[in-house]
C-alpha cells in the first residue's frame, strides 16, 4: 500500500537520536535545531524519560477515561506548580489541534456564542474549528469554511472592540509568539486590551501555547511575559517530548459538566508518564532559564552575520529573516552541513526550535556553518 502523499519530504531517514543529535541509517550525525517542529523539549532519548516510560509500560500503558488515573492528578499538580496556574483545571487530549478544538468548543459552550476571532498569519491546527481559525485558505476545506471566523491584524484594538461589540463572539484565540506564521508577536498594549475586551464583552481569551509552551520561550508559557489570565491555555508539542500528548488549562470561572469534553486516548498512563518526566527534567536541569540565556546568546551571535535582516522570537523559539527565500539555504544546511532547521509561512524566515538542552557550542557550530552555507548559495 502507498502512503497518502501529503508531505513534501527531505531525503533523510533518521533511525536513532540522542539529545540534540539525530542519526541516519548511514551513521551520519545531524544537529537538530528543529526539534521535530518544537516537539523535543528535554532532548532526544533523555535517560529519565526512557526510564519513566519503560517503567510505566511494564505497569499499565493505557486505560480509557472511565477509571481513576492518579497520574492525571500528579500531572495537573506538576503543571500547576511549574506554570503557576495553580487554580486552573486540566483536561488532557493528544495533539495541538485537539487542544485548540476543545478550547474553542468549551468557549462556545461557556458563552453560548459561536463566532471566533483569530489573527492574520495564525496557525491553530488542521481540524474543524482549529483549521478554520488558521489563516491559510488552502488548508481549509468547504466543510471547515462553515465555521464563523473573523481574522484581524494584531494591535488593532478598535477593530477588535468593533467585532466583540456585535455580541456573537465566543473566543479570541492568539499565539503570544506566532509559530508557523513566522514569529510575529502582539504588542504589550494589545495583549492587555485583548484581556480587558474579552472580559468586557463576555468572550473567552484562548492562549494557544501549543508551540511556545512548556518553557521554550524562557517563561513557562509565552503569554506569561505579561500579567494576563487567559480563560483557556492550550498545550501540546513540548509537553511530551515526542509522546503524543496535549491538553488545555481551564480558568476556575469555567465550570465543567459531564460529557462536555471527552477523548479515548487523552491522559492515558503513558502520556502522563511522558509529560511528568518532561516536567521533572525541565525543573531539575533548569531548562526554562537555560532557554532564556541561550536565546540571548543566539541574538548576540546573529548580529554578526551578514545578510540577517531581522532576528525574531524569544528563548529557543527563534528566527532569522533574510531578504531572500530560505528554502535553498535549509537544503544546503541539511544536506551539506547536516543541520536541521525549520521554515514558516514567511518564506524568508529560517526558524530555530532546538531541544532546550542545546548548548552554546551547538549555536557556535550553527553560525559557523551558516556563514559557509550563505556563501555557497550566493555563489
Contact set with ligand PLP (CB under 6 A): 37, 95-97, 100, 123-125, 175, 179-180, 208, 210-211, 236
Q: Any idea of the CA torsion for 126, 131, 137, 143, to the nearest 10 degrees?
A: 100
- Identity of the residue, 275 or 337, whose beta carbon is nearer to ligand PLP in the bound complex: 275
- Identity of the residue, 40 or 236, whose beta carbon is nearer to ligand PLP in the bound complex: 236
Distance in Å, CB of 160 to ligand PLP, minimum: 20
- Identity of the residue, 237 or 362, whose beta carbon is nearer to ligand PLP in the bound complex: 237
Distance in Å, CB of 134 to ligand PLP, minimum: 8
Q: Any idea of the CA torsion for 41, 43, 45, 49, to the nearest 10 degrees?
A: -50
- Identity of the residue, 236 or 318, whose beta carbon is nearer to ligand PLP in the bound complex: 236
Helices and strands: H and E segment counts in the chain = 11, 14
DSSP assignment of 78-132 equals: HHHHHHS-TT-EEEEESSHHHHHHHHHHHHHHHHT--EEEEETT----SSHHHHH
Distance in Å, CB of 236 to ligand PLP, minimum: 5
- Identity of the residue, 75 or 235, whose beta carbon is nearer to ligand PLP in the bound complex: 235
Distance in Å, CB of 117 to ligand PLP, minimum: 16
Contact residues for 207 (Cβ-Cβ < 8 A; gap 6+): 174, 175, 176, 221, 222, 223, 230, 232, 233, 234
- Identity of the residue, 37 or 251, whose beta carbon is nearer to ligand PLP in the bound complex: 37
Distance in Å, CB of 231 to ligand PLP, minimum: 17
Distance in Å, CB of 106 to ligand PLP, minimum: 16
Q: Grid coordinates standing for 154?
A: 494584531
From residue 39, alpha-carbon distances to 104, 131, 152, 211, 269 in Å are 23, 20, 28, 8, 20
Amino acid at each position: 500500500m502507498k502512503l497518502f502523499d501529503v508531505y513534501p519530504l527531505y531525503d533523510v531517514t533518521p533511525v536513532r537520536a540522542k539529545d540534540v543529535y539525530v542519526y541516519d541509517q548511514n551513521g551520519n550525525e545531524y544537529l537538530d535545531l528543529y526539534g521535530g517542529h518544537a516537539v523535543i523539549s528535554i532532548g532526544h532519548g533523555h535517560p529519565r524519560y526512557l526510564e519513566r516510560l519503560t517503567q510505566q509500560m511494564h505497569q499499565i500503558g493505557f486505560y480509557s477515561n472511565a477509571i481513576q488515573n492518579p497520574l492525571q492528578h500528579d500531572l495537573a499538580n506538576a503543571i500547576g506548580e511549574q506554570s503557576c496556574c495553580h487554580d486552573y483545571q486540566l483536561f488532557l487530549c493528544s495533539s495541538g489541534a485537539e487542544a485548540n478544538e476543545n478550547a474553542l468548543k468549551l468557549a462556545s459552550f461557556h458563552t453560548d456564542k459561536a463566532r471566533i476571532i483569530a489573527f492574520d498569519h495564525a496557525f491553530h491546527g488542521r481540524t474543524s474549528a482549529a483549521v478554520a481559525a488558521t489563516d491559510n485558505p488552502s488548508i481549509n476545506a468547504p466543510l471547515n469554511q462553515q465555521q464563523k471566523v473573523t481574522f484581524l491584524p494584531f494591535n488593532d484594538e478598535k477593530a477588535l472592540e468593533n467585532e466583540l461589540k456585535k455580541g456573537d463572539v465566543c473566543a479570541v484565540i492568539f499565539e503570544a509568539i506566532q509559530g508557523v506564521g513566522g514569529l510575529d508577536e502582539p504588542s504589550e498594549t494589545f495583549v492587555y486590551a485583548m484581556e480587558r475586551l474579552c472580559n468586557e464583552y463576555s468572550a473567552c481569551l484562548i492562549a494557544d501555547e501549543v508551540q511556545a509552551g512548556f518553557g521554550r520561550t524562557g517563561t513557562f508559557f509565552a503569554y506569561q511575559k505579561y500579567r494576563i489570565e487567559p480563560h483557556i491555555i492550550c498545550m501540546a508539542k513540548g509537553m511530551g517530548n515526542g509522546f503524543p500528548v496535549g491538553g488545555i488549562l481551564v480558568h476556575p470561572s469555567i465550570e465543567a459538566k459531564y460529557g462536555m469534553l471527552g477523548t479515548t486516548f487523552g491522559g492515558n498512563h503513558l502520556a502522563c508518564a511522558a509529560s511528568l518526566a518532561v516536567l521533572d527534567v525541565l525543573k531539575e536541569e533548569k531548562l526554562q532559564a537555560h532557554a532564556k540565556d541561550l536565546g540571548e546568546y543566539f541574538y548576540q551571535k546573529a548580529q554578526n552575520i551578514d545578510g540577517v535582516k531581522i532576528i525574531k522570537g524569544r528563548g529557543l523559539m527563534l528566527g532569522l529573516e533574510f531578504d531572500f527565500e530560505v528554502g535553498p539555504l535549509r537544503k544546503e544546511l541539511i544536506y551539506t552541513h547536516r543541520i536541521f532547521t525549520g521554515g514558516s509561512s514567511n518564506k524568508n524566515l529560517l526558524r530555530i526550535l532546538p531541544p532546550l538542552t542545546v548548548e552554546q557550542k551547538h549555536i557556535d557550530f550553527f553560525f559557523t556553518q551558516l556563514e559557509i552555507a550563505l556563501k555557497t548559495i550566493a555563489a
